[in-house]
Structure 1
Amino acid sequence: MTQAPARRRTGRRQHDREIVALAVPAFGALVAEPLFLMADTAIVGHLGTAQLAGLGVASALLMTAVSVFVFLAYATTAAVARRVGAGDLPSAIRQGMDGIWLALLLGAAVVAVALPTAPHLVDLFGASEAAAPYAITYLRISVLGIPAMLVVLAATGVLRGLQDTRTPLYVAIAGFVVNGALNAGLVYGADLGIAGSAWGTVIAQCGMAAVYLVVVLRGARKHGASLRPDAAGIRASAQAGVPLLVRTLSLRAILMIATAVAARLGDADIAAHQIILSLWSLLAFALDAIAIAGQAIIGRYLGAGDAQGARDACRRMVEWGIAVGVVLGVLVVISRPAFLPLFTSDPAVKDVALPALIIVALSQPISGIVFVLDGVLMGAGDGPYLAWAMLITLVVFTPVALLVPVLGGGLTALWATMTLMMTVRMLTLWLRTRSGAWIVTGATR
């Protein structure tokens, strides 16, 4: 009778150690892009409300361009982790190299499309006449860094699958420091305005990609994995990523719709929305650090054929997600008076942002569950279900969000709608994990 509880306590402690060992370093790497954006927001925000509104529109487009290809990290993490669990390191790294080559090809395609269409993309978001020129300038420069960011995603996925989240942490810290220094120097020292902020971020992103490539290439040589592009492997990586691409496009569509609605509420609303979205992204990545640990741990357990270990790890990570969500919500409430002045001195923007921040704080425990379960299913390679679940969420969210300007409530109502979106995601993911259909063991799904 006493042995079973003791075994459960031992199992929980083991899972806790694994989660902490992977999640804490993963947090640093995950927040790199949101921290870049928050640094840009803080620096550009003091140039003026029009500049901040322009950054809000451009950054939403840029985050979409990068985030739609986040499967380069997530699918690679799951595939590599499964092969690690099965004891096949050369095959694991070869899988990652295919993802890196795919990242370079996709990055070049994004740049080719985004540069000439920048004015039209900004116009689609309903940017005001004052904000549009700043949005176009920032977008056209920053898009040059997208190939580097996609390489970072793919290489990070390789390292996570190998159960290494420390290297991404070190690279992220260095990148953030360089980005902040360059932005401040180019915006104010060189007097380049919003263009200086964009150039600083591009340079930092390229430096991060270079470091990741050196680390991954060394690992490939050590284990005898080929560095040459393999057409069949690249196609396989792309095919495996299609369901996650659909899932991410649906999520980005939700965020773009929210930004478009905020832009039509007025410059103060879109500026406040940009600040809140920057914070929301940072909080989301903090919660996703547990999910990243989940991807690596779940993939490894399933690759080793340990279905019960995968179930136990999933349950423990959900408990972590709820607890961390509660803590983050409390921190948001407490830090509100000190947080907003970092990004704007406009009283109108502060007045709009304050009540919306309360909504964000209350939704954090829900977000904790969502991100953890999302990571668990990604680690299991359950991409098709994730795609359908996010499409359902998009269908529910869109009409409600579009009614906000008609029914009133402003930015607070818009962020209440965002909470509805997260609740729908939580329900769809919970139903899948409870069913057990995601548990498929072996080196490949």
Structure 2
Amino acid sequence: MAEDSALQLTERKWKMPLLIFFRDARLIFKMDELGSEILRIAVPAAMALAADPIASLIDTAFVGHLGPVEIAAVGVSIAIFNQASKVTIFPLAIFLIFCAKPLLSIMGVKSGSPMLTPARKYLTLRSLGSPAVLLSLAMQGVFRGFKDTKTPLYATVIGDVANIILDPIFIFVCRLGVSGAAIAHVLSQYLISLILLWRLMKKIDLLPPSLKDLQFGRFLKNGFLLLARVIAATICVTLAASRAARLGSTTMAAFQVCLQVWLTSSLLADGLAVAGQAIIACAFAEKDYQKATTAGTRVLQMSFVLGLGLAVVVGLGLHFGDGIFSKDPNVLYIISIGIPFVAATQPINSIAFVFDGVNFGASDFAYSAYSMVSVLALFQTTNEAESSGSYSKHCNHFFLSKTGGFVGIWIALTIFMGLRTFAGVWRMGTGTGPWSFLRGRMLP
């Protein structure tokens, strides 16, 4: 009788799916079979995913010694490139080359701005590497499908080492300035693509696809949903960069440094997202819902701990190491203002990114896309409310960036990431969609 009562108590306890996030939290550091599998996939994946942001961070450090105008120009160009690269491939290069000036104008770099010339040079040259960037991302996805995260890591490390070597040569020795930084980055991206293609050809036979075997309907549906989600996610960061550019080259330079550190450190959590996605996808395919739940909660708990660690490392690192990126006292002062936001948001960012992997592993592409678009729409709605004097204007991205300047931009980004995290908690925590089995289910 006592055992039956205990079982009933446990069953009632886990009928609240929200509590699932705290399940077996004491096992977070346990190196059992699941923990080992997560780390085996996550560590190489994290290093590979962070490689490109690290390369951009290195570019930022080298360019920062040319002056605040140059680093601000590179920041605006990277924001445009990152947004456009989510949509197209070969047409992207042509589009960015011929539309660089109007795009920079939209971002707040007007014809009389000292940022225009270096930004235009960097964006035009960087666009030549867009085919390599997207092809390498696609091939990395193929390797992850095989649960092979080491090959992409080796390729990106080789490419980034080449970038590090070429940066000072092109920027300072050849005196190409920001153009040299762009050329070095483009060459490194093509090197990464060639290495991945070589390894992929040794692993599988690359044959022309048969039209009758391609599932166009499923591909287009999921592809469109993922595209909508990615565009919505990157629009917010692009808008933030645009607002920073309108505040002047000094503010934009500081924002570029903070943003690159923010993204690079946060993307380390994407390794856990990749691990969660791979393990959960296999578990769902085998209808092993307990393993799917255990893997999901474990990677989320690990992401929170990772975020806390990153908060300390990033906060101290940026506080004592900001001189690596610039010697301008005004830029350094504004960077110091952004450090608390860059550091404090690390746990939120880590959880948000890992929730993406959890959703993808559960094939919950529709919710992932709709929730992201809804979060973006919230900013747009509050922008309209702001013009009519609504109280909600205080949460609006544009309102904050105009009145609070640099601080306002980071408050807005914090709200954005907080909403992304909330969307993930809501889906799994309420036991809806693919997680409906959590409702009323006893999970021993």
Instruction: Within 5 Å, give how 1:247-396 maps onto structure 2.
Output: 247-396=229-378
SS of the residue corresponding to residue 228 of structure 1 reads coil
List alignment gaps of at least 5 residues for structure 2: 11-22, 384-395, 438-444
CA RMSD of aligned residues (A): 2.3
Q: Give yes or no for the alignment of 1:175 onto 2:171.
A: no
Equivalent-residue separation in structure 2 for 1:234 and 1:345 (angstroms): 55
Flag the 1:117–1:376 CA change in 2: closer, same or farther, 3 A: same
List alignment gaps of at least 5 residues for structure 1: 70-105
> Partner of 2:390 in structure 1?
none
CA contact under 8 A between 1:259 and 1:270: conserved in structure 2? yes
> Partner of 1:48 in structure 2?
67
CA contact under 8 A between 1:254 and 1:397: conserved in structure 2? no
> Partner of 1:215 in structure 2?
199
Equivalent-residue separation in structure 1 for 2:122 and 2:97 (angstroms): 11
> Partner of 2:417 in structure 1?
422
Q: Which amino acid aligns with 2:263?
A: S
Q: Which amino acid aligns with 1:174?
A: I
> Partner of 2:406 in structure 1?
411
CA contact under 8 A between 2:315 and 2:342: conserved in structure 1? no
CA contact under 8 A between 2:258 and 2:335: conserved in structure 1? yes
Equivalent-residue separation in structure 1 for 2:149 and 2:242 (angstroms): 35
Equivalent-residue separation in structure 2 for 1:267 and 1:320 (angstroms): 38
Equivalent-residue separation in structure 1 for 2:192 and 2:327 (angstroms): 33
> Partner of 2:15 in structure 1?
none
> Partner of 2:125 in structure 1?
141
Flag the 1:130–1:220 CA change in 2: closer, same or farther, 3 A: same
Equivalent-residue separation in structure 2 for 1:369 and 1:207 (angstroms): 32
Equivalent-residue separation in structure 1 for 2:200 and 2:365 (angstroms): 25
SS of the residue corresponding to residue 368 of structure 1 reads helix
CA contact under 8 A between 2:311 and 2:347: conserved in structure 1? yes
Flag the 1:144–1:239 CA change in 2: closer, same or farther, 3 A: farther
CA contact under 8 A between 2:75 and 2:256: conserved in structure 1? yes
> Partner of 1:227 in structure 2?
207
Aligned-pair CA distance for 1:241:
1.3
Report how many residues are paired: 397
> Partner of 2:392 in structure 1?
none
CA contact under 8 A between 1:115 and 1:143: conserved in structure 2? yes
Q: Which amino acid aligns with 1:127?
A: V
1:366-420 Cα shifts (integer Å, max 9, x gaps): 112111111110122211111111111112335311112443x221221111111
Equivalent-residue separation in structure 2 for 1:358 and 1:418 (angstroms): 13
1:437 to 430, 433, 437: 433
Q: Which amino acid aligns with 1:429?
A: G
Equivalent-residue separation in structure 1 for 2:140 and 2:89 (angstroms): 16
CA contact under 8 A between 2:140 and 2:152: conserved in structure 1? yes
Larger Rg: 2
Flag the 1:276–1:237 CA change in 2: closer, same or farther, 3 A: same
Q: Which amino acid aligns with 1:286?
A: L
> Partner of 2:32 in structure 1?
13
SS of the residue corresponding to residue 282 of structure 1 reads helix
> Partner of 2:398 in structure 1?
402
1:64 to 72, 83, 89: 83
1:154 to 138, 163, 173: 138
Instruction: Within 5 Å, give how 1:73-222 maps onto structure 2.
Output: 106-127=88-109, 129-221=113-205
Flag the 1:37–1:190 CA change in 2: closer, same or farther, 3 A: same
Flag the 1:270–1:146 CA change in 2: closer, same or farther, 3 A: same
Aligned-pair CA distance for 1:13:
2.3
Equivalent-residue separation in structure 1 for 2:425 and 2:221 (angstroms): 26
Q: Kindly, what percent of the aligned residue pairs are identical?
A: 31
Aligned-pair CA distance for 1:322:
0.5
Equivalent-residue separation in structure 1 for 2:97 and 2:324 (angstroms): 31
Q: TM-score, normalised by structure 1?
A: 0.84
Aligned-pair CA distance for 1:193:
1.2
Q: Which amino acid aligns with 1:401?
A: H
Equivalent-residue separation in structure 1 for 2:27 and 2:340 (angstroms): 36
Flag the 1:242–1:256 CA change in 2: closer, same or farther, 3 A: same
Q: Which amino acid aligns with 1:19?
A: I
CA contact under 8 A between 1:261 and 1:401: conserved in structure 2? no
CA contact under 8 A between 2:45 and 2:271: conserved in structure 1? yes
Flag the 1:410–1:367 CA change in 2: closer, same or farther, 3 A: same
